Chain A
Amino acid sequence: MQDSASVGIVNPQVTHIDQPLTLKSGAVLNCYDLVYETYGELNAQRSNAVLICHALSAHHHVAGYHSEDQTTVGWWENMVGPGKPIDTNRFFVIGINNLGGCHGSTGPVSINPASGKPFGAGFPVVTVEDWVEQQARFATWLGIEQFAAVIGGSLGGMQSLQWGIAYTERVRHVLAIATTPKLTAQNIAFNDVARQAIITDPDFCGGDYYSHGVTPKSGLRLARMLGHITYLSDDAMAEKFGRDLRSGTYNFGYEVEFEIESYLRYQGDKFASYFDANTYLLMTKALDYFDPAHAYQGNLSSTLKNSKSAYLVLSFKSDWRFSPDRSREIVKALLDNNLDVTYAEMTCRHGHDSFLMFDEHYHDLMRAYMNNILL
């Protein structure tokens, strides 16, 4: 049964865009498909549109279900829906699968019109800036001149921040959750280990595994397991798994013994069964490359000097991957520019993944902020 505060069953839509997109790398995508979903109604003034930007492994399916099957639930169902913090009775909410994704938008798994084969490793590296450009063009196509809010967590938060930099006149409120103005060396290091796990998998085949009828599952699985560890907090893991043993005793071998091992392997296997390895590589690169202040000698305040949007910046104390200090760098730069900004540091215990979890205070804050957005 779907709960009453759900948008219910939704159908993804696909649009084909023919306008060539020059990427930050210099590569050009002549045409591409974007898959998206919308919830709620666009009002007559077209002033209630909200864009949800997805993170590394998510997609356009933000809320609702694709069928009666409960497992088809959207990735931010607890946040988006009628009467929920991002209230679809009030806002017209849009989710798009970004370019390079593996859920229907043009990406490595798509057929390259030039060759008739999947792009594979030949799919150009896309950046956060490219995605925001793609989202802005999509918004124009949809007839939305200005978003009431652009919202994202983690890699999605980088996109919402980039909206405030590149398209501030087109977004009134930027909600940047559990994010950072740039990755630290430690973060890039984690990403590279993940990439190495994929690239060194014999089934990776230089990225053209599609034509060999294989997928680099063990590499992708390892990448996901590593990522998962960094998205959780030590406390959350201790609380959930501790040192619990599956059989209650040591077996003095190398099979699964601890519950945490079982959990990670399960998560890794599940992920490797549906996610595309090339997309994973590309998404982690987009994370690594994001550094909007780079063009301003590392000065984030100068980077934001033309911004006019209002900001809500949220971080989680247990998030050691994108720690509160990174959010405070964003806040400092916004303060330096006299911009409207509210910042809250939440005590949720789930680490980086907290932004996806239900927490009463977190959701109350989101609801209160969204309720005050004028339409």
Chain B
Amino acid sequence: MARPDFAAIARWIQPGARVLDLGCGDGALLKYLEKTRDARGYGVEISDIDILACVKNGVNVLQDNLEADLSMFESNSFDYVILSQTLQAVKHTERIVREILRVGKEGIATFPNFGYWRNRFQILRGQMPVSKNLPYQWFETPNIHLFTIRDFEAFCQQQDVRILERVVMTEGVSINFFPNLFGSLAVYRFDRKT
């Protein structure tokens, strides 16, 4: 079963597009996009285990630290640069978003919405949220930048990033009613404000 955000992303990808997936994990999204959208591209990963999984999955993967820089990639060399559930784990958020829009014509980012009501509820109960989209305990989480849909949109505004499309979902179902409260996962497509 593909993750629900995969299908949302795939719908936005033009057939035959050139895609860069930053923090691509085992390469499942790339493989999905190759199959469903005839996309071609590369994943970037830092962990040995994920690199091996990508090779087994038959997707192109490059072992690199995407926090360092993306200097291996020329400007405008990809149709889409994807950051799937990775933005909340990167240290230099501004830099990575800038690099995404340097290398790619468009960026696609998915992230767990910290404003989801269950998260808020756990905070109200006095505990940091642990859920399906935020499965880690506070002391072991790789997620160092937790933010909400509203935070992200304000960030885009401030960074001259133009939001082109947004899908918010919970358990794979699209949420249109108070998405910052009822949506657990946000998927955005964006480009540079010209």
Chain A residues near B (Cβ < 8 Å):
328, 331-332, 335-336, 338, 340-347, 361, 364-365, 368-369, 371-372
Contacts and interface: CB of A to CB of B under 8 A. Distances in A.
A344 B42 CA distance: 13
A342 B55 CA distance: 8
Contacts of A335: 42, 62, 72-74, 77
B55 A368 contact: yes
Contacts of B72: 328, 331-332, 335
Contacts of A341: 42, 60, 62
A338 B63 CA distance: 17
A332, A338, A342, A372 — which one has the most chain B CB atoms within 10 A of its CB?
A: A342
B51 A344 contact: yes
B77 to A, nearest CB: 7
A308 to B, nearest CB: 14
Contact of A338 (B18, B56, B58, B61): B18
B52 A342 contact: no
B54, B56, B62, B77 — which one has the most chain A CB atoms within 10 A of its CB?
A: B62
B62 A331 contact: yes
Contact of B51 (A332, A338, A365): A365
Given A335-B42, A342-B60, 17 more contacts: A332-B72, A335-B72, A335-B77, A341-B60, A342-B54, A342-B55, A343-B61, A343-B62, A344-B48, A344-B63, A347-B48, A361-B52, A365-B51, A365-B55, A368-B56, A372-B55, A372-B56
A331, A338, A368, A371 — which one has the most chain B CB atoms within 10 A of its CB?
A: A368
Contacts of A346: 48
Interface in B38-67: 40, 42, 48, 51-52, 54-56, 58, 60-64
18 contacts: A331-B72, A335-B62, A335-B74, A336-B77, A338-B40, A341-B42, A341-B62, A342-B55, A342-B61, A343-B62, A344-B51, A345-B63, A345-B64, A346-B48, A368-B52, A369-B55, A372-B55, A372-B58
B60 to A, nearest CB: 5
A361 B52 CA distance: 8
Given A332-B72, A335-B77, A340 B48 contact: no
A264 B146 CA distance: 55
B16 to A, nearest CB: 12
A369 B62 CA distance: 14
Interface in B139-159: none
A342 B18 CA distance: 16
B102 to A, nearest CB: 15
A336 B62 contact: no
A364 B42 contact: no
B77 A364 contact: no
A361 B48 contact: yes
A371 B72 CA distance: 27
B55 A340 contact: no
Interface in B98-124: none
Contact of A336 (B56, B60, B74): B74
Nearest to A332: B72
B35 to A, nearest CB: 15
Contacts of A368: 52, 55-56
Interface in B1-33: 18
A332 B64 CA distance: 12
Contacts of A332: 72
A202 B42 CA distance: 55
B27 to A, nearest CB: 10
A73 B73 CA distance: 43
Interface in B69-109: 72-74, 77
Contacts of A328: 72
